[in-house]
Structure 1
Amino acid sequence: MAAGLKRDAVVILRIDGEELHEFVNNPSFEQDMLSIFPEIESPDGSLKDYIIKAFEKLTVDQGMPPATDPWVMSNILEPAFESFGDALQQPVSQETFLAEFKKAVDNVVQLLKEQPAIVAHSQNTFDGGGIKRLLSNKFELEKTLDSTLKGVPMDRNGKISTEYLGSALDSLAPSAGLPPLGAVDPMDNIKNEALKTFNASDAKTVKDDEFKKLLADLLGNIMVQLESSPVSVSINTVVHEPLASSSALLQPTSSP
């Protein structure tokens, strides 16, 4: 998912179980976990499946490294279940889930104390600011739109089909501070809704100036949505190499 995103500075976190211990002992812990339970409910899921999915819902802010990471799964989560025995064969209910999940968290806390997880964490927020800067600079906007149109097919009369609005939007996304299509699901939803508003699927041919105006208006539509409801993306990657310092601030790195 990180591919193609302009990244903010990366913070290296040493997750040693301390924050997770505080989270599980917080008065709001039970209520927080019971609110998660309906989101992970699965008729065919075992108690262990429920607990693992609950761990996947926790964040680094709560002291949990990304549970889907293979290193975390093999070195932290799987060992945390070793002492459970037949307890994981119980029927799944809110009560059993909460009780056994708390035991699992306690085990994870201890395992993280013995073997801390080093996580590279970055946060990216799409609030429409990139689009606003582009739209407010007429020279840069015109240059960007002209460059985008060079990659859009035209018919023999020099007209462009509106069915290419989506691909043109994706082409100029970096200039507008937007992620590429497929990188961030909530952003894909916003783009797709905007395209529906402009009936992009109803293929009709327009002159290049009209196509550029449609693109600019499309960007404006997305900007308004992001200004009212910004989209935040958190990227967490377990770093397997040992680090000399427990935390450090790194400069942004180029996307792979």
Structure 2
Amino acid sequence: METGNNSWFRWRRKKAKEGQGQGQGEGREEKQVVVDGSEIRELVEDREAFEMLVDTKFRQLDADGDGRLSVRDLRPAVDDIGAALGLPAEGASPNTDHIYKEVVSELTHGTSQGEVSKAEFQEALSDILLGMAAGLKRDPIVILRMDGEDLRDFVAGARYEPGAAAIFSQVGSAEDASLRRCLLAALQQLTVDHGVPPASDAWVAKNVVEPALQQLPADQFERPAASQDDFFQQLKELLGAIADRLREQPVIVAHTENNFDGSGVRRLLGNKFELDKLLDSVWKGARSEGKNKASRECVRSALDKMTDATSLPHYGAVKQVDEVVDEAIKMANADDGKTVGEAEFKKLLADILGAVMLQLSGNPIFVSTNIVVQEPSE
């Protein structure tokens, strides 16, 4: 987990205070910020600010100070971009490593020398950031400041008992389950919607959950939960202690929700002009140099270049969607290593997209993620 000053919320608080000075707001600190890519676009479009960013980053990366960046110099930037895209680290999955290669190619403009000037770096970084901004516009990230207030509202509200009953029916069924085990299992089922940061996060477990548990009578933890009412009361006390910890030390959580239902693929397949233009683009990148042929194994890479248009995640980012894509590729025999011409390659891509669309429209995949990114400090 990252630590340090939360400049984002400092900036938001400053803006909020400015707004209050103009008669806006009631002085309550903002606890939710939607990251939709607009500030990235504003940064890139602000020539002076963006040039300052590029100048700083270029000097950091240019280890030998020769005014050019080698592939080795660019490696930290490539890793950062991969992390921002939600990809596993390079080398962790052969199915996503090609994306890192494409980022390097983008940054180096595909030159064989693999070195770029500051002007070339600025142009490539602009393209990459604008691509990220487009992705965030489609799938925004909600940054939550969790200070215990929402959790206290949940415990005191009408949702608590039905929610606790549903949890008890699952975690309290084992006769030999200790109260501690039941309570910890309950925390795993509570989400940011209840005001609880992800309990599986190591920092949250160490700095929020364990201190809260220590405030409760230790001699009760190893006994089984005597009844549902007993569980309700003990869980309420634990959540109250967690809310107190969050009030003392709020936690920042990045929350995303995505429903992959194939609608983006359907829109693309229904727009022949856009589909043909996109297929032309990916074909140019897939075909062998100097030849009018491409390996069928390039299909996965080509599909990855179409994510903005299909509203699908990059391969490797969402396991459930990967499985749907893999099955569609397998059904089309697209991983046999054979080379094909332009028409067959494009038809193959369209057929795979059609299969993915049908699978997702019949069985949509909903993905919700909550990642602890930073604890704010004053």
Distance in 1 between the 2:344 and 2:159 partners? 60
Q: Partner of 2:212 in structure 1? A: 80
Which entry has the higher C-alpha Rg, 1 or 2? 2
Residues 33-112 of structure 1: pairs in structure 2 closer than 5 A: 33-37=167-171, 48=180, 51-82=183-214, 83-90=216-223, 98=231, 101=235, 103-112=237-246
Task: After superposition, give the CA deviation of every residue in 1:39-70 in whole Å (9 maximum; x if it has no partner).
Answer: xx9x9x98756644542332111221122334
Work out the number of aligned pairs and report it.
240
Q: Tell me the equivalent position of 1:241.
A: 376
Instruction: Please point out which of 72, 77, 85 is paired with 1:3.
Output: 85
Which SS does the other structure have where 2:160 is aligned? coil
* 3-state SS, counterpart of residue 306 of structure 2: helix
**Superposed CA RMSD:** 3.8
CA distance in 2, matches of 1:114, 1:217: 55
Does residue 162 (structure 1) correspond to residue 296 (structure 2)? The answer is yes
CA distance in 2, matches of 1:113, 1:65: 13
Paired AA for residue 253 in structure 2 = V
More helix by percentage:
2
- SS at 2:297 equivalent: helix
Determine which of 169, 181, 192 is the counterpart of 2:326: 192
Compared with structure 1, are the counterparts of its residues 235 and 57 closer, same or farther at alpha carbon in structure 2 (3 Å cutoff)?
A: same
For the pair 1:204 / 2:338, whether they are aligned, the reply is yes
User: In 1, Cα distance between the equivalents of 2:220 and 2:278?
Assistant: 61
AA matched with 2:194: Q
SS at match of 1:68: coil
Question: Within 1, Cα distance between the matches of 2:158 and 2:222?
Answer: 23
Assess if the C-alpha contact under 8 Å between 2:179 and 2:221 holds in 1. yes
The match for 2:283 is 149
Preserved contact between residue 131 and residue 223 of structure 1 (Cα < 8 Å): yes
CA contact (8 A) 2:296 2:336 kept: yes
**Structure 2 residue runs without a partner (length 5+):** 1-82, 87-131
Match of 2:270 in 1: 136
Does 150-159 or 196-205 show the bigger shift? 150-159
Distance 1:24 1:98 in 2: 17
Residue aligned with 1:132, SS: helix
Contact 1:130 1:176 in 2 (8 A): yes
SS, match of residue 353 in structure 2: helix
Identity of aligned residues (%): 40
**1:124 aligned counterpart, secondary structure:** strand
CA distance in 1, matches of 2:339, 2:226: 58
Partner AA of 2:303 in structure 1: L
Does the CA contact (< 8 Å) of 2:257 and 2:367 recur in 1?
yes
Specify whether residues 92 and 201 from structure 1 end up closer, same or farther in structure 2 by C-alpha distance, changes over 3 A only.
farther
Q: Corresponding residue for 2:354?
A: 220
Give the drift of 1:34. Answer: 3.5
What TM-score do the two structures reach when normalised by structure 2? 0.52
Deviation at 1:32, TM superposition (A): 1.9
Paired AA for residue 238 in structure 2:
A
